[in-house]
Homo-oligomer: A and B are copies of this chain.
Amino acid sequence: MFNNVHIKGVATYHPKYKVENKEFITHFKQYGQDEHLKHLMSKVGRKVRTHAEAGETSITMSVEAANRALENAGITAEDIDIIISATDTPEYLMPSCALIIRNKIGAKNANVTFDMNSNCVGMVNAMDVAWKYLKTDKKYKRAMVVGSLVVSPFTKKDDMITSPLVGDGGAAIILEAREDVEERGFLSSGMLTDDRYNDTIRFPACGLQNIIKEETDTNENKMQWNPFDFSFLAGEWTRLIESLLEEQDIKANDVSGYFMSQFSKDDIISTMNKLGVDNEKATFVADKYGYTGTTSPIMALNDTLKERSFKKDDHIIFCSVGAGYVMGAMLYKW
C-alpha cells in the first residue's frame, strides 16, 4: 500500500474592487511611460486586477479562501490537522498568521500551525512541505495550505512594474492522506534557487529594523523593485519541470494541465513551446486578477476545475518563481 497525498478541495477569494489597465496607463502618462506600459501589459497579459478594500488584509482573505475550501472539500475546520500559511505580506509576524487563521476558522484540532515564505513560490513550496508531513507521520490526515497576497498597498505609485501588474487575493487548498494500492497524488517536487537577483526586490525596502525609526519615510516601508532581466524564466522553468518529469518517466505532452506562476503570459507560452506542449494546457488567469504571487498557481487550478475535471491517472504540474530568485514545481497524478 502507498501512503499517498491527494488534493481534497480548493478555493479562492478575490476582493470586489477591480482596476482596469486604462487607469494605470493614464497615471503613467506623467512619467512618459504610458506607451511602454501598454507594451508590458500586453506581454504579461493584464486587463483587470483586484485590489484589497479598507479592512481587507492577508488574514481576512486567507480566512475567506480557507472557509470556501472547506466547503469545496465537504469537510469542517475540525477535520484539519495542519495549517500552513504562505504569504510574503503577513499581517503579523507574531503570532504566525496560521495560528490566527486557525482561530478565525475554528480549526481546533490543528496542532501543527506555521507560516512559510518563499515569496511567489510560497503555496507550491508549502504543498511540498504538507505532502511530506502527511506522507511521513500518520498522526496527520489533512493539511490546509492557505496563502494570500495583499501587495497593492505596498507598491510605489511611480513603479511601473509592481504597481500596475499585481493584484490582491487569497487561495486555499486542502490535502488528504490516503492509502492506495498504487502510487498517486503528489509524486515528486523540486526547487531551484539562484540568488543572483537577491538585491533587486526588497520589502520592506528600508529593512525591518528601520520601520520603527522616526526618520524613515513611510514610502521606504514599501516594496522596492529594481528592474532586472527576467528572460531566464522560460528556460529555467523548463529545466525544472523536465527534471521532475524525468524522475517519473513522464513526457511533457502527457501532462494534462500546467498551473504556473501567473506573472507573465509571454513566459508561460515560451515555456510550453520549449516543452513542446499545446499552450492551451497552461491556464492563464492574471488577465482577470493581476499577479497574485503565492496564490497564483492555485487560482489557475481553481478556475480550471470550474471549467473541466481531470480523469483518474491524469497528471498536472504546479510551477512558480519567487523573488531573488527561487523556483518550485510539483508533479501530481489524479
Seen from chain A, the residues whose Cβ lies within 8 Å of a Cβ on chain B are 57-58, 88-96, 98-100, 102-103, 110-119, 121, 125, 129, 132-133, 135-137, 139, 150, 153-154, 189-193, 195, 198, 201-204, 207-209, 211-214, 216, 218-219, 221-223, 322-326
Contacts and interface: CB of A to CB of B under 8 A. Distances in A.
B125 A114 contact: yes
Nearest to A140: B191
B193 A102 contact: yes
Contacts of A95: 119, 198, 201-202, 322-326
A238 B11 CA distance: 38
Q: Is the interface of A mostly helix, strand, loop or mixed?
A: mixed
B132 A136 contact: yes
B92 A204 contact: yes
Contact of A135 (B121, B136, B325): B136
Nearest to A103: B195
Given A190-B139, A191-B112, A191-B113, A100 B198 contact: yes
A96 B208 contact: no
A117 B96 contact: yes
12 contacts: A92-B202, A92-B207, A95-B119, A95-B325, A99-B326, A103-B198, A110-B193, A111-B192, A113-B191, A114-B326, A132-B132, A211-B211
B93 A90 contact: yes
A215 B192 CA distance: 41
A152 to B, nearest CB: 10
B209 A91 contact: yes
A133 to B, nearest CB: 6
A209 B133 contact: no
Q: Which one of A110, A116, A154 has the highest number of Cβ atoms from chain B below 10 Å of its Cβ?
A: A116
A89 B208 contact: yes
B208 A212 contact: no
A135 B201 CA distance: 33
Nearest to A196: B103
